[in-house]
């Protein structure tokens, strides 16, 4: 093992201690075996344990109650073993950003929290330019002040997915996602994003605070319990004090929210550009539907297509068209663009005279044959979406079938 590399990572002391426990020494080897320390490297698992640096990131959706962030951190710090994120990221609106800055950063509350939980250098980093991520509008060149429309909801979904996906794609980051703050749809999208792109090692949580410490009418506002308890006054909307409570009575509990990480199931799709939350969901829905499709058996001798138990008989020209498209799908080739090119692919089939397919009028006949295939599929298959997948014509002149390759079989 390269000693200089170990020292550069600040782990030389740990390595030497482990080497000593295994009977090694740097200047002479072991007493019974005069081997060099370098000649016997540590097992891979131990080496990874010593050298791997894992960063814990807390990502939270927040609205106009920044306290959910400090309460979550305080609860994590009380876990055994305690957990202190290295970085904290808030996903919010412009209004939420101003609250975070005023109540946590400019007021000094965040620094007090770091001191209260004993955060060391490199822990609980919050306040840098990428720490507060504001949701941008989908229709205008501006950030969102609040989430009040369906378009705003989709913008929030895109922002949350982008942040979560970026974090979970890094193997050196372990994500803790909080859904305690913000609008209800923001919390929902956080949970859904972690389900779609999260990993088993990631966590999803919600913070619970007993009343009246969760009330916006508490003065001073409650952010986390401090060692020296203070008095809080609960005000009504007119400003009248209705209750006085001690911060010593505050109870904060972190509730773990179990989720099913689906990233491994859709690994191929997640490597592609997301296209936003709605685009990713549509793509993954398609994959789920494909998994439920039956085996497609194609029998050239009988000019028959069978989907599950349903059989569709085609005439010679119809079957030639379907066979060409199915073979291309089976080989993983791209769709056919335009009837002229498709006519050239049909020439070896023998269902037409070669020169016949050079005629533009015959290309129009191919369109009519494709419509005939579609009608036969609709009549034979009770599931119209299945028939649409097998119909040859697509938008923008594409000619193909949408059926998983592993479920196509020629007999």
Where helices occur in 173-306 by DSSP H, the ranges are 184-197, 267-270, 276-291
Give the model's pLDDT for residue 285: 86
Give the model's pLDDT for residue 31: 38
- DSSP letters spanning 298-356: EEGGGTEEEETTEEEE--HHHHHHHHHHHHHHHHTPPPEESHHHHHHHHGGGSSS-GGG
Give the model's pLDDT for residue 178: 97
Residue span(s) of the chain under CATH 1.10.10 come to 294-410
CATH of domain 55-210+251-284: 3.40.50.10770
Give the model's pLDDT for residue 74: 97
pLDDT string in tens for the chain (411-residue length)? 444 443 444 444 443 444 444 444 444 444 333 333 333 333 444 334 434 468 999 999 999 999 999 999 999 999 999 999 999 999 999 999 999 999 999 999 999 999 999 999 999 999 888 899 999 999 888 999 999 999 999 999 999 999 999 999 999 999 999 999 999 999 999 999 999 999 999 999 999 999 999 998 999 999 999 888 899 999 988 889 999 999 999 999 999 999 999 988 887 777 776 678 998 888 888 888 888 899 999 999 999 999 999 999 999 999 999 999 999 999 999 889 999 999 999 999 999 988 888 888 899 999 999 999 999 999 999 888 889 999 998 777 889 999 999 999 999
Give the model's pLDDT for residue 53: 62
Angle between helices 276-291 and 150-168 (to 10 degrees): 70
Q: What angle do CA 376, 286, 293 make, to 5 degrees?
A: 50
CA gyration radius, the chain: 31
CA distances to 41, 54, 138 from 15, rounded to whole Å, are 11, 18, 52
Asked if 379 contacts 317 with a C-beta cutoff of 8 angstroms, the reply is no
Select from 1.10.3470, 3.40.50, 1.10.405, 1.10.10 the CATH code of 294-410: 1.10.10
Give the model's pLDDT for residue 274: 60
Give the model's pLDDT for residue 21: 43
DSSP code, position 396: G
Determine the Cα–Cα distance for residues 363 and 342; give it in Å rounded to an integer.
9
Q: Tell which phi-psi region holds residue 33, choosing left (phi > 0), alpha (psi between -120 and 50) or beta.
A: beta
Residue span(s) of the chain under CATH 3.40.50.10770 come to 55-210+251-284
Determine the Cα–Cα distance for residues 121 and 86; give it in Å rounded to an integer.
9
């Amino acid at each position: 093992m390269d000693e200089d590399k170990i020292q550069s990572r600040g782990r030389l002391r740990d390595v030497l201690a482990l080497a000593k426990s295994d009977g090694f020494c740097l200047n002479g080897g072991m007493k019974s075996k005069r081997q060099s320390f370098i000649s016997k490297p540590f097992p891979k698992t131990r080496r990874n344990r010593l050298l791997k640096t894992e960063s814990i990131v807390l990502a939270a959706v927040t609205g106009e109650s920044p306290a959910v962030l400090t309460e979550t951190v305080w609860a994590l710090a009380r876990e055994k073993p305690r957990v202190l994120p290295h970085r904290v990221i808030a996903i919010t609106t412009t209004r939420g950003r101003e609250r975070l800055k005023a109540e946590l950063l400019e007021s000094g509350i965040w620094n007090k929290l770091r001191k209260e939980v004993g955060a060391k250098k490199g822990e609980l980093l919050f306040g840098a330019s990428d720490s507060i991520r504001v949701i941008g509008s989908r229709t205008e060149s501006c950030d969102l002040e609040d989430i009040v429309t369906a378009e705003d909801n989709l913008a929030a979904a895109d922002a949350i997915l982008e942040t979560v996906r970026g974090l979970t794609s890094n193997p050196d980051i372990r994500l803790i996602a909080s859904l305690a703050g913000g609008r209800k749809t923001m919390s929902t999208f956080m949970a859904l994003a972690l389900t779609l792109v999260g990993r088993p090692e990631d966590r999803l949580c919600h913070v619970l605070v007993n009343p009246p410490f969760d009330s916006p009418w508490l003065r001073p506002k409650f952010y986390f319990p401090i060692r020296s308890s203070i008095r809080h006054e609960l005000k009504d909307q007119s400003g009248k004090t209705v209750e006085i409570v001690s911060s010593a009575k505050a109870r904060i509990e972190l509730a773990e929210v179990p989720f099913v990480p689906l990233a491994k199931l859709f690994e191929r799709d997640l490597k592609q550009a997301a296209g936003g939350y709605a685009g990713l969901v549509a793509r993954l829905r398609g994959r789920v539907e494909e998994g439920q499709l039956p085996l497609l058996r194609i029998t050239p001798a009988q000019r028959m297509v069978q989907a599950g138990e349903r059989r569709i008989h085609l005439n010679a020209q119809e079957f030639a068209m379907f066979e060409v498209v199915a073979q291309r799908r089976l080989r993983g080739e791209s769709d056919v663009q335009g009837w002229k090119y498709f006519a050239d692919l049909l020439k070896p089939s023998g269902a037409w005279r070669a020169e016949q397919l050079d005629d533009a009028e015959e290309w129009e006949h191919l369109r009519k044959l494709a419509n005939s295939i579609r009608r036969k599929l609709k009549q034979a298959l009770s599931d119209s979406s299945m028939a649409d997948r097998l119909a040859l014509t697509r938008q923008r002149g594409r000619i193909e079938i949408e059926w998983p390759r592993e479920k196509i079989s020629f007999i």
